[in-house]
Amino acid sequence: MNRQLSRLALVAVVLLVALVAATTYWQAWAAGGLQDRQDNAVELVAQFQVARGLILADNGRPLAADRRVRRNGQTLYFRRYPQKGLAAQVVGYSTSARTQTGLEESLNDYLTGANTNLSNAIRRELAQLGGATVHGNNLVLTLDPAAQALALQQLGDRCGAVVAMNPRTGAVYVMASTPTYDPNLIDKPGGYAKILKIRGGCGDGSALLNNATAGLFTPGSTFKMVTAAAALDSGAFTPDSVFHDPGYCIEYGKKVSNAGNPDQKGPEAFGRVTLAQGFEHSINSVFCNVGKKIGAATILEYAKKFGFYSTPPLETPANERAPSGLYYNGKLEYPKHPDTAVDPGRLAFGQEHLAVTPLQMLLVASTIANGGVVPRPYLVQRIVGPDGSTVHTTRPDNLGRAIKASTAADLTQMMISVVQAGTGTAAQIPGVQVAGKTGTAETAVNHVYTAWFVCFAPADDPTVAVAVVLEKQLNGFGGAVAAPIAKLVLEKLLHG
Amino acid sequence: MIGVAAFAVTLLAFRRDYRVLENYKYLFGLGAVGLLFMPLLPGIGQTVNGARLWVHAGPFQIQPGELGKVALIVFLAAYLREKREVLAQGRVKDWGPLLVIWGGAMLVLFVTDDLGSALLYYGIFLAMLYAATARLSFVVVALGLFLAGSAAVYQGTPHVRERVTNWLDPWTTHKVFCPLSGTMTLRQDCTSYQEVQSLYSIAHGGYGGTGLGSGTFTNTQGHQIIPYLNTDFIYSALAQELGLAGASALLLIYMVFVLRGFRVSLLAGDGFSKLLAAGLTFGFALQTFIIVGGILRVIPLTGITLPFVSYGGSSIVSNFLLLAGLMLVSHRANVEVEGR
């Protein structure tokens, strides 16, 4: 009988080994997938047992903090946002239904202390076994809360965005998007529906959308920075190249007129001008002719070097950032034969299906300020452990060279004259040389514009670059509507 | 406490020679059948969680099937020891007992809707039959019969069909009819809720677990997330608090127990002792497999208890009886070895 008994013993052991294998599968292999499921009631509670890390502005003021509650013998930590709508779209929210956006979503592993660094994992495991509360890591952002508040206040209830960064390092100082919302409302009954109803002055804007990184706007004349960069860097033109401006440019046998001047009827005509003067006064016919000469392919190639056609890197979730470029029926497309498929004249002055994010236009200005190298933008300067030790420090990086240093210097001179004597005089700051470019993009409605101003200062040694956009401005020219806001934000960041 | 008392009483009562039990084998057989069918009696039987497994007597609730299991093993050990040669010859008339037991298991399965217990009793029976006769063909035929019977029960019993569906597809992406609420809802929010939340509980444990006593089992309002956590789903609670390391350690301890049990069976001097020890041990392993395998989605989930861990008087008493039986056999084997 002993042979049968040995075999039975083997069967019994195999059954138990199968259980060890299955347990390993669920706890090691499949655990991650299960934890992410929305109907997971265990994680739903467990998330509140972790003291989630704080999200702090650069001066240490908390943008996201915890509310400690004792309930049914459990200590639970609920999220609160003391600064309300100040940086709502950047910080995002983390709700009790486990929906997350913004940095709360993308850096959730750090905030819950689940980031897989060996010493962290061991510390967390030991703390847990000892019955202690798990504390997440704190994020220290690069945002300047005073400048951020000023930007929000200036935007008011209009749809728009203000983004500012250090053009040398890529540290983002301001990322304001309006209309904004109070993330504390999300978990309140009916709060989410209330947020969805926020319209601002423009009708179709969503408060939840981060206009600075995901809002797509027609760049208008701010795109002339890219066209001018292509014209100069390719060697086809110099700032002194001469043009004749009759007030229009002829494309495909038709007149394309310059923008109207608010002070006079009909389009302006400047006569004999240089490329630099054309930039200073934002003359469309000049850029139309530049576009016809160098072609759409060259312009788009340079746009790509500035970061168009790729999603700009940032710590926020990828689906909250959009790439800039030519959009056909809502889809980003790089034409197979740009020189025949794209109208080079209209592309040159920033119309023709172009849609850009404020962050992308800020990157163009920052690249010029940074001597031709595209800085890599970042929002998180440090991640600090619960014991105060630094878990991660962001090192400034770049995304490669877009244009020659000499081209950047020429463009800087052209942008200085825009502010000194051109369309951007409203951005002048006494004692500081500001370099900038206005943009007034046409919309489907006559006399309603998307107003832009993109600038940096001080021009000889830039420390701050700012991009401002305002949507649907009636008779709102970039130089009149957006430039004053850019000026105030620049001053705040330069002088404190 | 009652378990330890039963353990002590059993050891004392049979300290001289437990083999007298052999003489009362038919009493045990009848007793086992009686215990198994007790929950079906009107008046004292109770349906809990879709299966009639419980009997209430005054303030007590008993699962008589647990004690029936031990009685059945004693009966089988004695009966098979006596008839093993005749059975091994495989004459047609000796198929009788096999068919009777098969019929009994199917009957239990059918009337109590308890797939797990039927599988357990039948598995123990087959294991002991194989040990006694060394005829693998019996096992193959019997397994075939069991599958056929199960298929019939699957067709005829909605409760069993639901368990199998929950096993194969616990998550749905579209809404299905929910018999509990009578509305259309996702399956994970309805019939497979327990299974799915139990898997979430296990996954939450990860490698190291949350630590004993600091697992997450209640929601923010303090309500229990997984019903029957302390009985049927005790393994998912343990796996969360102890993690992969602790859960594997528990299973390894069970494995050591099983190997020791079979060692006792190998060393024992007489057929009754061998079969008794093997039956008790194999039953232990199979019961663990059926409940934990059900929780881990290795097989469909059936509500039976995890030996020595689940909270439940009947189960603990029967497992201590099992342990006492093994110790008696072991003691006797040792005495015999020394005596030689």
**What's the Cα-to-Cα distance from B199 to each of A35, A144, B176, rounded to whole Å?**
10, 45, 21
Give the one of B188, B221, B293 whose C-beta lies nearest to A19's C-beta. Answer: B293
Look over chain A and give the mean of its residue pLDDT values, rounded to a whole number: 89
Q: Under DSSP, is residue A344 helix (H, G, I), strand (E, B) or coil?
A: helix
Q: Which residues of A touch B208 (CB under 8 A)?
A: 125, 128-129
Give me the pLDDT at residue A93, please: 92
Q: List, as one string, the DSSP characters of A393-445.
A: EPPP-EEEE-S-HHHHHHHHHHHHHHHHHSTTGGG-BTTB--EEEEEEEE-SS
Give me the pLDDT at residue B318, please: 80
Scan for tokens 């005073």, then name that residue: A146
A457 beta partners: A464
**What ipTM describes this predicted complex?**
0.90
CATH superfamily membership of A145-182+195-380+400-495 = DD-peptidase/beta-lactamase superfamily (3.40.710.10)
Give the one of B204, B217, B220 whose C-beta lies nearest to A43's C-beta. Answer: B204
Residues A19, B286: C-beta atoms closer than 8 Å: no
Residues A4, B203: C-beta atoms closer than 8 Å: no
Dist CA A447 CA A427 (whole Å): 23
Count the neighbouring beta carbons within 10 Å of the beta carbon of residue B178.
Answer: 16
Within 8 A by CB and 6+ apart from B58, the residues are none
Distance of residue A93 Cα from the nearest chain B Cα, in angstroms: 19
Asked if A332 and A321 touch (Cβ cutoff 8 Å), the reply is no
Dist CA B177 CA A204 (whole Å): 39
Which one-letter amino acid corresponds to residue B155? Answer: Q
Residues B216, A42: C-beta atoms closer than 8 Å: yes
pLDDT higher than 80, residue A150: yes
- Residue A290 — very low, low, confident or very high, per pLDDT cuts 50/70/90? very high
pLDDT higher than 70, residue A130: no
- Residues A367-395: tens digit of each pLDDT: 999 999 999 999 999 999 888 888 899 99
Residues A24, B219: C-beta atoms closer than 8 Å: no
Within 8 A by CB and 6+ apart from A26, the residues are A34, B199, B202, B203, B239, B296
Q: What is the dihedral of CA A369, A371, A376, A381, to 10 degrees?
A: -70
Least confident window among A117-121, A249-253, A408-412, B261-265: A117-121
B8-14 own/partner pairs: CB under 8 Å, 24+ apart: B10/B320, B10/B321, B10/B324, B10/B325, B10/B328, B11/B324, B11/B327, B11/B328, B14/B328
> Of B240, B231, B248, whose CA–CA distance to B316 is shortest?
B231
Give me the pLDDT at residue B302, please: 79
User: Which tokens is A495 given?
Assistant: 């002088």
Dist CA B68 CA A431 (whole Å): 97
Residues B296, A76: C-beta atoms closer than 8 Å: no
Mutation site for A-interface testing, chosen from B87, B136, B200, B306 by largest number of A Cβ within 10 Å: B200
Dist CA B314 CA B66 (whole Å): 6
Asked if B321 and B276 touch (Cβ cutoff 8 Å), the reply is no
User: Which tokens is B256 given?
Assistant: 């050591």
Asked if A222 and A438 touch (Cβ cutoff 8 Å), the reply is yes
Asked if B2 and B313 touch (Cβ cutoff 8 Å), the reply is yes
Give the one of A5, A46, A72 whose C-beta lies nearest to B262's C-beta. Answer: A5
Q: Per-domain residue ranges for chain A?
A: 145-182+195-380+400-495
The chain B residue lying nearest A37, using CA atoms, is: B200
Averaged pLDDT, A52-77 = 88
Question: What are the φ/ψ torsions at residue A216 (nearest 5 degrees)?
Answer: -105, 125
Residues B211, A128: C-beta atoms closer than 8 Å: yes
| CA gyration radius, chain B | 21
The chain B residue lying nearest A6, using CA atoms, is: B262
A392 beta partners: A383
Distance of residue B133 Cα from the nearest chain A Cα, in angstroms: 8
- Residue A219 — very low, low, confident or very high, per pLDDT cuts 50/70/90? very high
Give the one of A12, A45, A76 whose C-beta lies nearest to B285's C-beta. Answer: A12
User: Which tokens is B191 given?
Assistant: 């019939």
Distance of residue A11 Cα from the nearest chain B Cα, in angstroms: 9
**What's the Cα-to-Cα distance from A4 to each of A64, A216, B124, B133, rounded to whole Å?**
66, 75, 14, 9
Dist CA A132 CA A111 (whole Å): 17
Averaged pLDDT, A349-355 = 88
Q: Under DSSP, is residue A25 helix (H, G, I), strand (E, B) or coil?
A: helix
Least confident window among A97-101, A243-247, B65-69, B294-298: B65-69
Give me the pLDDT at residue A66, please: 92
Residues A72, B218: C-beta atoms closer than 8 Å: yes
A435-442, strands of its sheet edge to edge: A172-178, A160-165, A464-474, A448-457, A435-442
Give me the pLDDT at residue A18, please: 96
- Residue A495 — very low, low, confident or very high, per pLDDT cuts 50/70/90? confident
**What's the Cα-to-Cα distance from B117 to each of A19, A167, A448, B27, B301, rounded to whole Å?**
19, 72, 77, 21, 12
- pLDDT of chain B, 340 residues: tens digit per residue: 667 777 787 777 777 777 778 778 778 877 777 777 777 776 666 666 555 556 665 556 667 777 788 888 888 888 888 888 777 776 666 666 656 766 776 676 667 667 777 788 888 888 998 998 888 888 888 888 888 888 887 887 787 788 888 899 989 888 888 888 888 888 888 888 888 999 999 998 888 888 777 778 887 777 788 877 777 788 988 999 899 999 999 999 999 999 999 999 998 888 888 999 999 999 999 999 998 999 999 988 876 666 666 666 677 778 888 888 888 888 888 877 776 5
Distance of residue B201 Cα from the nearest chain A Cα, in angstroms: 6
Distance of residue A388 Cα from the nearest chain B Cα, in angstroms: 24
Dist CA A436 CA A414 (whole Å): 9
Give the one of B131, B196, B217 whose C-beta lies nearest to A5's C-beta. Answer: B131
Q: List, as one string, the DSSP characters of A96-138.
A: TT--B-HHHHHTHHHHTT----HHHHHHHHHHHHTTPPPB-PE
Positions of A marked active-site? 221
The chain B residue lying nearest A97, using CA atoms, is: B220
C-alpha count within 13 angstroms, C-beta hemisphere, residue A404: 10
Q: Which residues of A touch B258 (CB under 8 A)?
A: 9, 12-13, 16
Asked if B32 and B75 touch (Cβ cutoff 8 Å), the reply is yes
Q: Which residues of B touch A4 (CB under 8 A)?
A: 130-132, 134
The chain A residue lying nearest B199, using CA atoms, is: A26
User: Which tokens is A462 given?
Assistant: 């830039």
Give me the pLDDT at residue A45, please: 82
Q: Which residues of A touch B289 (CB under 8 A)?
A: 15-16, 18-19
pLDDT higher than 70, residue A400: yes
Give the one of B130, B220, B247 whose C-beta lies nearest to A45's C-beta. Answer: B220
Which one-letter amino acid corresponds to residue B41? Answer: L
Mutation site for B-interface testing, chosen from A13, A14, A16 by largest number of B Cβ within 10 Å: A16
Reduced 3-state DSSP string for chain B: CHHHHHHHHHHHHCCCCHHHHHHHHHHHHHHHHHHHHHHHCCCCEEEECCEEEEEEECCEEECHHHHHHHHHHHHHHHHHHHHHHHHHHCCHHHHHHHHHHHHHHHHHHHHHCCHHHHHHHHHHHHHHHHHHHCCHHHHHHHHHHHHHHHHHHHHHCHHHHHHHHHHHCCCCCCCEEECCCCEEECHHHCCCHHHHHHHHHHHHHCCCCCCCCCCCCECCCCCECCCCCCCCCHHHHHHHHHHHHHHHHHHHHHHHHHHHHHHHHHHCCCHHHHHHHHHHHHHHHHHHHHHHHHHCCCCCCCCCCCCCCCCCHHHHHHHHHHHHHHHHHHHHHHHHHHHC
Which one-letter amino acid corresponds to residue B86? Answer: V
> Of B260, B340, B334, B328, whose CA–CA distance to B77 is shortest?
B328
Asked if A486 and A435 touch (Cβ cutoff 8 Å), the reply is no
Give me the pLDDT at residue A356, please: 95
Q: Which residues of B touch A133 (CB under 8 A)?
A: none
- Residues B233-268: tens digit of each pLDDT: 889 889 998 999 999 999 999 999 999 999 999 988
Cα A315 versus chain centre, distance: 10
